[in-house]
Every structure is written in structure tokens, then in C-alpha cells.
Structure 1
Amino acid sequence: MAVRFHNARPGLDLINIIDAALPVAQITAEVLAQDSKGLPLLEEFVLRLVDHKVTSGRSIAGMLGVPERMVDQTIAALFSSDDLKWGLAASDDARARGLRLTDKGQITAHNAAQNVPVRVNQPLVYDQMLWKIAPYDRHTTITRGQAEEDGMIMLPAARSGPVDESDITAADITTLLRDNGTTDREVLQVKSITQARARRVLPVKLLVYADQDRSDIQLGVVVDGELSHLHELELIGFGGAKRLDITVEPPAERPVLDPELEKARVPLPEVSQHRAEQAAFQLGSQTPTPAPPAAPQPQADEIRAIGVFEHPEILEEALSHARRRLLIISPWIKKAIVTTTFLGRLEARLGRGVKVDIAYGYEDNDTKTDLAAVRKLNNLATRYPDKLTFTRLKSTHAKVLVYDDVWVTTSFNWLSFKGDPDRTYRMEEGSLIRNRQVADTQYDRYLELIDQQRR
């Protein structure tokens, strides 16, 4: 997503991609609908009139009030489809001939007559920001409570209160059905609607852009993987970044490595370009060079920058694949990070014998730490006393991740980068060193720091 949309605002930098929640309502509409008969209207009426003993083209044209030429063309089409034939007329003149239904035509006419409007319940998702029905999959929506627990930013609704029957028309539902691939049903009338009581949201992504001075902040909204200009315009009308209390600060100062490591470190622009080429190649897009991206450096000797968007990937990699050790130091802890999934992955590492150390704490100030997340980690440490240490430090500015032979030092808050009500964002940069000797040295160093700072 960062690769796709980083140039969507010329002159602005993509600062962050945030999980957001779009308010929606789950609606069940009772509608009067009719499925398509798969038969042109004039052909249907010609067949039904012939079935009712109207056996000449002139008589049919007169009853329908259409030119006889149109009826003759329709009769010819029905002869070609083997729905009509010539037969003896129902008259005293045995030489007279009239239109008759074939066996196939009788079935076609019968099916057309049986296809009448019916009442059906049509499930819908109503976008409460745009205040219109939308083609979202209701199975991808979640409860508002779950979104709040996951630290999502709540996008505003166009109005308060429930959706009214007048807000949904038959034409809107028919258009939606056709957009979703259902082309054989037409909604004739909306009889009533029922709105689910539980408040639901659709998970979306909020793109935060800013200029060099961090004074011009613009937001993009990605819905179902695509930028939605309608939602962006609606958000501007609500006040944009100011309405959501989003601010952007200058980039944080990254921790500096030892001179030798600093000299060997691949800078962020080069890393970002390589990742962009990889992503573009995987997506089948045009790449800056016709050949596939070059292979990365051997993993035994990797020293490079990591940007803000790569940090969550690296944390997930550590939680999913660490084999010997995992150490995380973060000043604050948020429940939006320490989720059921996070705890499940952590416990899976512990179950495989991985030694885990987690430390947190910023002076006496715990206002940015969720106590519920602390309790969950304490409970896990109690169950695995020989494998997991969870420590409150006197104070730490360190943001460190060590797993196996990898050491990451950064300005990125590993356990609180989501769910912070402060909503102040900045470009975060760190360094990843994949080398066993360096990782061993740093691992021992931070274990000693944890022991010294233990509160």
C-alpha cells in the first residue's frame, strides 16, 4: 500500500498508514422484486397472446398497439427459436392457418406467466459516512467495540440516528445488485427496512500525508484496497485531519550505530527503492528496470535502514518465526498491539522453547500504557516463568527488538504504535543488523540494562 500510494499527493510525503473504522449499518430490506425472464417483453406477449388463441400477427399488433412490422419481426424470431409454428385455425374455414405454440413455446409461455414479483429479504450494508448503500461484504465488518479495542480511528458519520426507509430506493438496490454481478433481478419496491442494533464498522486504511514543514496535512481513505475520493471529500467537509485530531511532527532522531556499522548501513532511500521494485514486480506492474529486483544481501551480513512501514512486518516476523530468543523493549504498551493474535503468537514461541524478554516503562508516567495489556502479559509470564520475563523498568527511551541473529534499534514504539489517543505521527526510521555476533552482544547488553533498571 505504501508503494502504491506514496506518490498519490504530489509534493507531500506519506507519513503513516493508520487503521480506521468506517461507520456502517447492517440493513435487511423487505423488497418486491422480480427476476428476469430472459425473454424480451414483446416476445413474451406474443407467446402469451397466441396461447390465448390470438393467432394472427395483425390481431396481435392491434391488441398491443404496436406496428405490425414489429410483431412480424418478433414472430420470425420465435419461429427461429422453435417457439412458434403454423397450424390450423380455430374456425369453420379448414384452409385458414394461424399461429400455434410448439411444445417448447408452451413451456416458454408458461414460465413467463409464472414469473411474478415476490417479496424477498435483501441484506445490505449502509455506508453512514456517505449515507448510501454500498457494495461492501457484510462479513468483513466488525463491531465498533472491537475496532476501539484494536485502536482504530473512528471516521465520522454523515448524520446521527438510524437509517430511514426513504434513504433507500428500489433503483439504488437494483444498481447495487448489478454492480455486484446480479443482473437478473430488478427491485420494484422497498416495502420496509430493519436495521441491526449492534453498531458496526468497516475496517479501512487512513493515509496521512504532509509537506516538509508538516503544516499541510492531507488524508486519503483506502476502502477495499482502493483510494476512495468520495470518502476523502466527505472527510474534508468534516474538517479533515483537524477533525480527527491528527498532527504530524518532524522525523524522530534515529539511534546512531557504531561507526563501522554506520558506514556499512544501506541508507533508507536505497532500501525503499529496492522494496518498491520488489512490490511492483510481485504485483506484475512496470518496474524501473526490466529485470526482476536483485537478490538481497546474504542474511548473515545485513546492515540496513528500515522505514516506518516495515516495522510492523519485522515485529510480526519475530513473533511468528523466532527460534531461540526474542527481546522487546518499548516505553509504552497498548492493547491495540497486545491483542489475542499477538498473545497467541507469543505463546506459540514459548511453547517451542523460545526465551522471551519484554520490558517497558517511562519514568512514573503510565498514562500511555494500557493496564489491561500489562495484566495479560503478566498472566502469560506467570504461566511460563522459566521462558518469559516481563519487566517494568524505572525509565527507558530504548525501542529495541532482538530475535535470533537480528538486532533492530529504532525510534519506533514496538508495543504502542497503534491505539495512541495522541494521534501525533512522524516518520520513524531504524536500523536492522542481521549478524549473530552483533546480535549476541546487544542481547547481553540489554538484558543487563533490564536487570539494572528493574523497578
Structure 2
Amino acid sequence: MSRDIFADAARRHAHALPGHTLLAAEPCAIPASVLTVDVLVEQSEDLEAGQKYTLRALLGGIDTVEDLQLFLGLNDGDTGRAVAGLLLAEYITYQPPADGGLRRLQLLPAGQEAARDAQLRRPMPTTMPVVYDRLTGAVTDWRRNSLRRSNQAKADPGRLLLPPASSMPVRAVDLSLAALTSTLDPRSRDGARLLGISGVTENRNFYHDAILLVFSDDETHQIRLGVDVDGKWSEPHTAALESIGAVERLRLSAAPVEHPHAPVTDSGERLSKADVLALQAAGDDPDGDGANRALSRAVIRWLGVYEHPARLDAALATSRRRLLISSPQIRTAVASMPWIRALEKLAHTVDVTIVWGSGDNDGTDREALNALHTAAGRANRLAVVQVATTPQKVLVSDSYYIITNFNWLSFRGDPSRIYRPDDGELVQDQALTDSAYDTYLTEACANAVEVVGTLPAKYRTETGSGSHATPTNHQMPTSSGNERQARRPTAPSKAERRREALKKLAAGQTVTGPVKRLTPFGAFVTLGEIDGLIHISQLADHRVEHPSEVVNVGETVTVQILNVDTARERVSLSLKAATSASSEPSRPGPESPASPAKTRRSR
């Protein structure tokens, strides 16, 4: 799998907060200041105490070894070592006089200079640059060249700028000598001692890159944050974000999956969320090869939302026969020009199909879509297929596929900062993968309203048994698979009926309909052409463990519409709101006869 710093951070810290699910590992920036600190530094000489006092004694007039020994109160050996050290440093001389008298100690010029310094330590004012973390309010060991300037950090739309703990300027009293000393070059720590701080000049125009880890409480869905700084979980930053209410200040929120994907029902070895998190935690240890092997061997396993971006990169890098990506919307934040160039390069040797479509497609960037169409016109094995209904969110590669709630091609670039537990299931079985590829691509072709580029040979519009018809304009000739023109047929009547049904629904309405199916997340209610979801939290005023405690499949219920998302064709409902508003007359839902479904819809 392709690995980057965000995927690595997510894998390392997914299990950091028990009872929480990791929703995202995103680039962030910690506010920092570069301080110029005025300090008083004590520079020490490389002298032992005996040598220091010997120099002071010689400056005072003592010039014989015997007198020096009496003055110092040392034995012969210690006195001799002090004199020998000063001779070696060329601070003194011990030569006999010309007249042959008693040998005397004499200071040389360097020794005289050192001896005149009464302490042999020279306090002196100087300045030192320091990087200050404005989130934790602490001096750091970050280097100036590791920082971004504010304009650089703010120019990155995908990077969250974390707030500082305080807007007050840094003062001398906010700094400690111990913290400043720890930032000194190790080579100079032994030769200098900070005595005091006299002033601080602050430049706040900086940020330090980090990784923000967004967690959701499994019970309350409340957001909690963690921070990975320089590859390690930082408890001080995590505590600082909580203390300043960063979730509210950054306007982050969590929401349940409105339309969860249908779980894979095939039998086989299956690893649950708890199993995967435990194995990933064990895999971070040096001896975690067994855990990694267990993850790679599982036929079906839970796939955390934090793993999806790396899986998308890996599919682009490792697919050798085929690649199918199905996502309701396409955004330039994911489908960037470098990403599209890599996709186009892959499509010269691999069958690549992009399936997209969702309601009126307001969430799709035309720039990204046009770039994909252009790439499909150049690559001989790339097709971009727009479908009339919201497609399943899937990724199929050579030997595995993923069915998920994750928006493969639009998960970045959403300014709302609403995080959802968009997990999925990874199926690592060749037969199941082959079957899934055929099913999803056949359904895409059956519901296509536009195809740009070249579909895989089996799925092109051809005469003969066993071929799969791609909807095309009747005035256009049968495809040979080599043309690059866009095919724009009339939208199927079913899609029109769905859009018309959505227009008739509005928040606040009370409607009725039968319960179609139950999931652990809630109950789906059929409203004519549209299915709406009663999330489990909207079934009753008390805690509900499973929707079956309140409603049954086939039962007709009265519900209130909470929200209508026309872009994604999603309707959120509340059973308890309808119950409490019993005084309002019920309004029947749309009653257009439903045509047989040609494809599974994303939940």
C-alpha cells in the first residue's frame, strides 16, 4: 500500500482514544512565534578549581610552589597537578632565574588576563533566537527553517490553522531559564550558563506543520482532537486544544452516516472494527509482522475511514489489469491535475473506469470533470461514466474491492468541516472481486446518461449475445470502442420521477410510508420514489439499541422530514418529531409507481 505521513499517523493513533473512532488525519498548522531573547550569559573558562585559585594566588604575589601549597591548603600531588595544567595551557612559566637562584612561578600574558577576572567567569549580554509554541505556551526545539510563514500556511486550503491559547504577547516572565538552556546547541551547553532574561522581541508570523487527528465518541458522536507533531502523539497539544475549546472554535462537528452501505454478506474470515484496531496497534510494535499478516490475509475486514485515502493512492499505483472508482461527486481537491495525469498514464495499459453522478451534481467541480474528460480523450483505456442515480461508493482493483460510505473523489475540499464515520469493508478474494467488478460496471452501463472515453471491451455497446448495452443517443452510431466523443442520451424517466419526488418534499412536512428495511443505524422508509432514513437517534426520546425495538419492516409509519438533500438524493426523517406533533395533519408522500431498480443505491 502507498504510505504517506497522514496514513502512517492515522494507523499509529487510530486506537489512541478508547471508545472513539478516528474519522480523519488532516494537515494542520500550530501557531508559532520566533522570539529574540535578550539574555545574560556566563561564559566559563576550561579550568579546574585548583588552577583557578593558583592564578589568583600568583596575581596576589605568591610565586613559589611551597607558598602556593600553603595558600591553597592542598597536598603535593594536587598542587603539582594544578601547576602542570597551567604550564601546559601556557598561562605560567616555571624557569629558574638567570642568577641561578630559587625557581619561581611567573604569570604569562594569557595567565595575567585570566587571573584579573576575579571569578574566571565573564557574564555578558547577548541575544538568542527561540521558537515559541503559541498553542501550548512553551519554548520548543523547533528550528526556524522548519516553520511556514503565515501567508504560506493560509494559502493551503486543506490545512487547518489551529488557534493560539492566548492573544497576549510573550513576556520575559513567561520564559524559564531551564527551557531556554534546553534549546542551546549541545556543544555550547557545557561552556555557558544563562543567568537572566532582560527582554523579548516577538514575531508571530509563523506556523509549524503537524497532523490533526479527528475522533468521534462512539456513544455521543462528540468530536475530540489529537495532534501528531513530528511523528509522535503530543499530549501537551491534545490537552491544549481541549482546554481552549478548539472543536467549537474551529467549528468542527460529527454526524452519523445518513445512508450506510449494505454490508458484504459473503461468508469468509471477517475482521471486525475491534479486531482491526487491535491488530493495527500490535502491528506498530517492532515484532508486529504477525498482526500485519493477519490483516492482509482476512477475506473481509472493516476498513476505517482514515485508511481510505491511502487505499485510493495505492490503487492508482499498483493496479495492473483494471481499476473502477465509483463516487457520487468529483472535486479538484482530490482529482487534481497531478492525480488526473497519473490516472491517464495508468489508463494506457490498464482498464480504468470512473463512475459518478448524484442528483443535480451541484457538488461536482466542472474543472475536475472537464480535465477527466480530456484525459479520457487521450488515454485508450479510460472511461468517465455519468449515471442517473447515485452510485454505490466502491473501488475495485485487480484482486480486492472496497464497498464503503466514503466519497472517493470528493472527500477533500468540503468547507463545512462535518465529519462522518464513513467506514467500509475491504474484500480480499479474487472470485468475489471479479463478481463485484462485473456487477458494478454492468449496473453503471445500464444507468449511464453519458460516457466519455473507452469502456472495457466487454461493456461496450456491441451486437451479439452477452454484450452489455450502454445507453446512447439513437442518432449516434454503434460504438466500436475507439471513438472519444461524449454520448448524451435523454435521462431515464425513473431519474426524472425521483427528482420530481424530491421537489415535493420539504423540511417540516409530516408524511407516511412503509418501513422498507432496518439497519443498526436506523430505519429506511419508502416515500414513493425516494427512501428516507430515520436515524436511530430520531426513533424515540429514549435510547434505542436497535430500530427493531420501535418499528418493524412493512409497518406504515408517520414521520416528519428533517432535511432534504437534493444533491445527494437523501431525506432525513424523525419518528419522534412526528409523534410529538400529533396535532398537525399528515401529508401523504409522493405516490408514483416505482419501476424495478436497476442498480443498488448508496445508503
Note whether the superposition's TM-score is higher than 0.5: yes
Which residue pairs with 1:177 in the alignment?
184
Pairing partner for 1:156 from 163, 167, 171 = 163
Q: How does 1:75-90 map to 2 (within 5 A)?
A: 75-79=79-83, 81=85, 83=87, 87-88=94-95
Which residue pairs with 2:371 in the alignment?
379
**Contact between 1:129 and 1:234, CA under 8 Å: does it hold in 2?**
yes
Residue 136 of structure 1 pairs with residue 130 of structure 2 = no
* CA deviation map 1:110-138 (0-9, x unaligned): 9x999978888755432121333312244
Q: How does 1:247-396 map to 2 (within 5 A)?
A: 247-250=253-256, 254-256=260-262, 259=265, 262-264=266-268, 266-268=270-272, 269-280=274-285, 283-284=286-287, 292-293=290-291, 295-296=293-294, 302-338=299-335, 342-343=339-340, 345-346=342-343, 348-350=345-347, 353-364=349-360, 366=362, 371=365, 374-376=366-368, 378-379=370-371, 381-383=373-375, 385-387=377-379, 388-390=382-384, 394-396=388-390
Q: Which amino acid aligns with 1:21?
A: A
Gaps of 5+ in 2: 1-8, 452-487, 489-603
**Contact between 1:58 and 1:68, CA under 8 Å: does it hold in 2?**
no
* CA deviation map 1:236-275 (0-9, x unaligned): 232243333233334666433564xx22251324344443
Per the alignment, in what secondary structure is the counterpart of residue 370 of structure 2? helix
Q: How does 1:25-36 map to 2 (within 5 A)?
A: 25-27=33-35
Pairing partner for 1:223 from 220, 225, 229 = 229
Residue 401 of structure 1 pairs with residue 395 of structure 2 = yes
CA distance in 1, matches of 2:277, 2:174: 46
Shift of 1:71: 11
Q: In the superposition, relative to structure 1, how do residues 394 and 225 fare at CA in structure 2: closer, same or farther (>3 Å)? A: same
Which of 1 and 2 has greater Rg? 2
CA distance in 2, matches of 1:157, 1:440: 49
Which residue pairs with 1:195 in the alignment?
203
**Contact between 2:352 and 2:383, CA under 8 Å: does it hold in 1?**
yes
Q: Which amino acid aligns with 1:156?
A: P
Q: Which amino acid aligns with 1:129?
A: L
Residue 95 of structure 1 pairs with residue 102 of structure 2 = yes
**Contact between 1:55 and 1:89, CA under 8 Å: does it hold in 2?**
no
Q: In the superposition, relative to structure 1, how do residues 338 and 219 fare at CA in structure 2: closer, same or farther (>3 Å)? A: same
* CA deviation map 1:339-369 (0-9, x unaligned): 566456445535x534433344432363x55
**Contact between 1:147 and 1:201, CA under 8 Å: does it hold in 2?**
no
Q: Which amino acid aligns with 1:326?
A: L
Residue 213 of structure 1 pairs with residue 213 of structure 2 = no
Shift of 1:450: 6.6
Gaps of 5+ in 1: none
CA distance in 1, matches of 2:218, 2:281: 21
Question: Over aligned residue pairs, what C-alpha RMSD do you find?
Answer: 4.8
Q: In the superposition, relative to structure 1, how do residues 413 and 383 fare at CA in structure 2: closer, same or farther (>3 Å)? A: closer
Shift of 1:26: 4.1
TM-score calculated relative to the size of structure 1: 0.72
Q: Which amino acid aligns with 2:403?
A: T
The share of aligned pairs that are identical, in percent, is 27
CA distance in 1, matches of 2:122, 2:385: 70
CA distance in 2, matches of 1:343, 1:327: 14
Q: In the superposition, relative to structure 1, how do residues 383 and 428 fare at CA in structure 2: closer, same or farther (>3 Å)? A: closer
CA distance in 2, matches of 1:74, 1:92: 30
Shift of 1:315: 1.1
Q: In the superposition, relative to structure 1, how do residues 53 and 333 fare at CA in structure 2: closer, same or farther (>3 Å)? A: farther
TM-score calculated relative to the size of structure 2: 0.57
* CA deviation map 1:303-357 (0-9, x unaligned): 433222322221121122223333322234455434566456445535x534433
CA distance in 2, matches of 1:72, 1:39: 19
Paired residue total: 430
**Contact between 2:210 and 2:227, CA under 8 Å: does it hold in 1?**
no
Which residue pairs with 2:509 in the alignment?
none
Q: Which has the higher contact order (CA 8 A, sep 6+)?
A: 1
* CA deviation map 1:253-305 (0-9, x unaligned): 6433564xx2225132434444333332xx34xx6xxx944845887x94433
* CA deviation map 1:53-73 (0-9, x unaligned): 7645898899xxxx8347999
* CA deviation map 1:173-220 (0-9, x unaligned): 3232268996555556677747375x43422333424142325x4333
Shift of 1:411: 0.8
Q: How does 1:106-117 map to 2 (within 5 A)?
A: none
